Structure 1
Amino acid sequence: MAKTAAFTPPADEPLTSKEGWFRWVQHDPRPPKLRLDWPHLSPVEQAAYDDARLDYHNDLIVVNTPTIQEVVKTVRRLLIITGGAGTGKTTAITQLGRRAHELSVALRNPMTGPRIPVVYVTVPPAATPRMLAVEFARFLGLPLASRSNITDVTNAVCAVLCAVRRHDPRGHP
């Protein structure tokens, strides 16, 4: 029986890179086939089946609760999310980026070719504007010289995002 693969991005493609984000958006967790014969499986088969079920449940399926709905509604108007540790900021914002924006953009505007409707970065609370620009560049996979100033970094990021947008004949993001 094939084991359901939990989403684990390669070490060189974290969620905060365009490749890692794209893999995560495209990942579609599927539940393992229900095994009614579980009591009759060998211990190895039972363990493999249990692992597949645990992988599926560990894949963080988010229930569309009123709280998640409110977060999506509110966050669509915000640029930055703040809050205490463990309050669900990362879960809420990644789900918003994936479901409420990236996948809905793809459904509304089907096209082939490059598309980057979401840029996902994380920065510490005391981040400088340059640190934020560098994280955008890192997400896009842009090479940066250690002495790049904020203007150079920002211009490089904007150039890539504008070039990707120009590939869409309708000019949609």
Structure 2
Amino acid sequence: MKKIILSAFALFLLFSPQAFAHTYLDSTTPADGEVLTTDIQSIELNYSGKIEEGSFFTLESSAGNEIPVSSFTVDSGVLKGQLDAPLKNDTYTVKWNSISQDGHPLSGNFSFTVNKAEAEQTDEVKTEEKTDVVDIEQQAKQPIVGEEETDDSKSSSSLIVAGVILVVLIAISTFVLWKRKK
């Protein structure tokens, strides 16, 4: 009986939720799809947990040209890249590769647009920009949807399977013990 209980307990610990808690990209600055109307010289990726040194990203223009990132800093769950000069008006893609604290490789991409105003603007253009700022704020509040969520759904599925296995093992153990007593 003790062996069965210890086996069931060990199995439960093996499939505990912490075993499936992978780090994922939580948010970015600028946000995915954001349209910036001001200068930008740094890009920040915020993760749900700690990431390791060696995590990095590349920045590409809409023409596919790589924009150099002068330095990277990793502080717990934040990866920050510093640019030498402000970005010009264009659409940019950030392709990131990170390593979570548990060694799990993470990767993905997001894009944003820089659309700084020209020196001469009409009142009509300024009104449109204010509307864009409201839209950007609403987008920033929405979670990033990407391949990271598939890891979470796989983790949930694995946890459910582990629970079912545990229940079946307990049922079999109870049945065997009941038969032995008779």
Q: Same fold (TM over 0.5)?
A: no
Specify which structure has the higher proportion of helix: 1
Higher RCO structure, 1 or 2 (CA under 8 Å, sep 6+): 2
Task: Please identify the structure whose Cα radius of gyration is greater.
Answer: 2
Q: TM-score, normalised by structure 2?
A: 0.20
Q: TM-score, normalised by structure 1?
A: 0.21
